[in-house]
Amino acid sequence: MCEQDGCHVEKDDRWFSYDVVAEDSSTHARAGVLHTPHGDVPTPIFMPVGTKGTVKGILPQTLEQVGAHIVLANTYHLAMRPGVDVVSELGGLHEFMQWHGPILTDSGGFQVFSHEEFVKLSEDGIKFRAVDYDGRWFTWTPETNMDIAQRLGADVVMQLDQCVGYPAPRAKVERAVDLSSRWAERCRAAHTRPDQALFGIVQGGMDLDLRLRSLRHLEEMGGFPGYGIGGYSVGEDHETMFESLEPLVAEHMPRDRPRYLMGVGSPSALVRGVACGIDMFDCVLPTRTGRTGTAFSSEGRLNFRHARFTHDAGPLDPACGCPVCRGGYSRAYLHHLIRQGEMLGSILVSTHNIYYLLDLMRRARVAIIEGRYGSFVSDWNDSEASRDW
């Protein structure tokens, strides 16, 4: 293990590896372990999102308590505020956040491209205006993006890529695939930090042939320690997503590398994604919906703004073992907090939602190891919990 975030040692495959420990015979689901310098990550796993260096409203100790093994942070937002110099000066992201387990940072490319008319794209990189901060123009190349990622110091970082929304003309998606592939090669050449894994990203929109072209390009470079699957959950419905996602993952992606579906986080999408062979998921959904008083539950989604909870003395979800559901907080109290805009309401519901997804993946892992994931999926689809829309 690296003794401090700024250490420099020779590259060694022992820093990162992925072991498949079980595969389900009736689906493509598998259970594994991702080994990183800051700890092991059992998969399948949901990764809470700490966009600006914090999972909103949740203490790092609470994340540990509810079973988080790895968290995310966002390269774009941290580069804007407080700036990579500050994070690096203060010991790197683990020390800065006071989260000492594994961290994954995305490239920030999705956030940059969301600026739309304030983005100028070229072969060299991206010029963009930070309209959500001070309005200044910045230029990111694959090389500068890797420099930021290495100085932030996460365990896993993602290549700079171009993510195209849905729907989009095939020609635009095709250009994004080819540009992302060339940028992946430059990211790979620029990334030198040995205690940090660089994941390539498979793009291609909803076109399976373009997805396979993207994957082939990444493998022809010599492969990556893991693969992100980007460009989904960008406007399409889940059925459209799974039309290309399922064959891509189940039939074509490397078996010995972790597969990370980026930005997907509804419970039913996780259950189905695991059946396809996905290992890692992230999404802001549990905290974003938590802040508005909406919770996942064994009864489906619950909106605690509704008046029907005014006199309900029961726990948020009697089938849940999280600190909120076991802590004596009634549905009536949660309704009161949410209706009054009290921050504790958002914190409690967000905590529950994160636990709910982590526990769902824990139970999925057990089912895979026991060889019954097919029945796990069937039971889920027949349950009220699957009404998570």
Q: What angle do CA 280, 285, 288 make, to 5 degrees?
A: 145
Q: Which residues contact 194 (CB under 8 A, 6 or more apart)?
A: 8, 9, 10, 11, 12, 15
Euclidean distance between CA atoms 265 and 286, whole angstroms: 8
> For the chain, where are the E strands, in sequence order?
17-23, 30-36, 39-43, 45-48, 71-74, 103-106, 119-121, 126-129, 137-140, 156-158, 197-202, 227-229, 259-261, 280-283, 294-295, 302-303
Residue 156 · residue 280 · CB < 8 Å: no
Residue found by looking up tokens 């989009």 in the block: 168
Task: State yes or no: is 161 an active-site residue.
Answer: no
Catalytic residue (one of 279, 282, 317, 388): 282
Task: State yes or no: is 106 an active-site residue.
Answer: yes
Sign of CA dihedral 56, 61, 63, 65: negative
B/e letters for 130-146, b = 16+ CB within 10 Å, e = fewer, are: beeeeeeebebbbbbbb
The residue count for the chain: 389
Euclidean distance between CA atoms 280 and 259, whole angstroms: 6
CA atoms within 13 A on the CB side of 315: 15
How buried is 343 (Cβ within 10 angstroms: 0-12 exposed, 13-18 middle, 19+ buried)? Answer: exposed
Residue found by looking up tokens 């460009």 in the block: 231
Peptide bond before residue 167 is cis, with ω within 30 degrees of 0:
yes
- CA separation (Å) from 8 to 2, 27, 33, 36? 9, 42, 25, 16
Catalytic residue (one of 5, 24, 106, 155): 106
**Active-site positions?**
106, 282
